Structure 1
């Protein structure tokens, strides 16, 4: 794999972020998975771009992925007992089909894990689609532990995963 450039996206790149997310949505639908089968949350993406927490990934000058990494712990999922401030959180990670199968997602998760460690956070966390078992296996294969599934009727996401921010260490809770 060639070198990747990961940088904060700009507000004028909203269309690029949306296109990457829509590409992932289309691919998921083609596999019979109902994840992300709605328009991207434009206002949330704009806010993330403005805050510098929505990143674009480039290879040879072409955008191939996006990831949002911030300290927002969704209070419907992450409770005070989880110590929400001890983690960074991944949201809306998507890779273009042209980059699929080349380990880009894993590199992004490693990058986000290093970012969490640099910020003194103990964990990298995310919430995944509750019924996408293939995605659950992907995250487990990337060193994440499934903590629990929060089953809220108004939320399709809710499979809560985390991994230590210091790779190669085993932190027990």
Structure 2
């Protein structure tokens, strides 16, 4: 249970965080297994995450000295967003919450951070996706301000993590202004 007196910070992850990032990914995958009908994350490529860390695209929400959740971003996501990728956007991927800190609406904090971050980088949208038609996540992300754009069938998934192969994804978008 999160202590409300702990200082909350949203910071860049560092290479020293990589083991904790992968621990949170494993815990998220275990949670996905427990929630029937949810697509389960594969084991992600460590070199992919190391590259994101090196490029300053892995982030964390800290509560005191503990990582409450992590996520990755990119400014380019053509294989998932197709022609919409031409729009200037920040794309959020792989939000994974530490089970000790679930139930505190961290996505709302990430969304507020992402809107500010997108503004600073002259982007017009914050976007994210989830594999499949996960009604719980659709409700959660729309409650956080995203518009659900519907389902898209991915056709070119070479180089994407395994859960995107032969997948249909739910797409979400949030204008930066507004």
Instruction: Give 1:87 deviation, angstroms.
Output: 0.6
Match of 2:102 in 1: 100
Instruction: Give 1:164 deviation, angstroms.
Output: 0.9
Q: Does 1:20 align with 2:24?
A: yes
**2:115 paired residue among 113, 116, 132:** 113
Where 2:80 maps in the other structure, the secondary structure is coil
Match of 2:158 in 1: none
Tell me: CA distance 1:12–1:123, structure 2 relative to 1, closer, same or farther (3 Å).
same
Tell me: CA distance 1:85–1:47, structure 2 relative to 1, closer, same or farther (3 Å).
farther
How many aligned residue pairs are there? Answer: 165
1:68 touches 1:92 (CA, 8 Å); kept in 2? yes
Q: Give TM-score, length-normalised by structure 2.
A: 0.84
Listed one character per residue, the Cα deviations across residues 55-113 of structure 1 (whole Å, up to 9, x for unaligned) are: 1221110111101122021x222223x25341110011111111111122211121112
Question: Alpha carbon RMSD of aligned pairs, Å?
Answer: 1.8
Cα distance between partner residues in 2 of 1:18 and 1:140 = 27
Listed one character per residue, the Cα deviations across residues 18-37 of structure 1 (whole Å, up to 9, x for unaligned) are: 11111111112112244234
Instruction: Give 1:41 deviation, angstroms.
Output: 2.9
1:20 touches 1:64 (CA, 8 Å); kept in 2? no
Q: Does 1:67 align with 2:71?
A: yes
Match of 1:162 in 2: 173
Q: Which runs of 5+ in 2 are unaligned?
A: 156-164
Cα distance between partner residues in 1 of 2:113 and 2:168 = 23
Q: Which runs of 5+ in 1 are unaligned?
A: none
Tell me: CA distance 1:67–1:37, structure 2 relative to 1, closer, same or farther (3 Å).
closer
Tell me: CA distance 1:156–1:96, structure 2 relative to 1, closer, same or farther (3 Å).
farther
Match of 2:44 in 1: 40
Q: Give TM-score, length-normalised by structure 1.
A: 0.86
Where 2:81 maps in the other structure, the secondary structure is coil
Listed one character per residue, the Cα deviations across residues 111-138 of structure 1 (whole Å, up to 9, x for unaligned) are: 1121111211110001112221111111
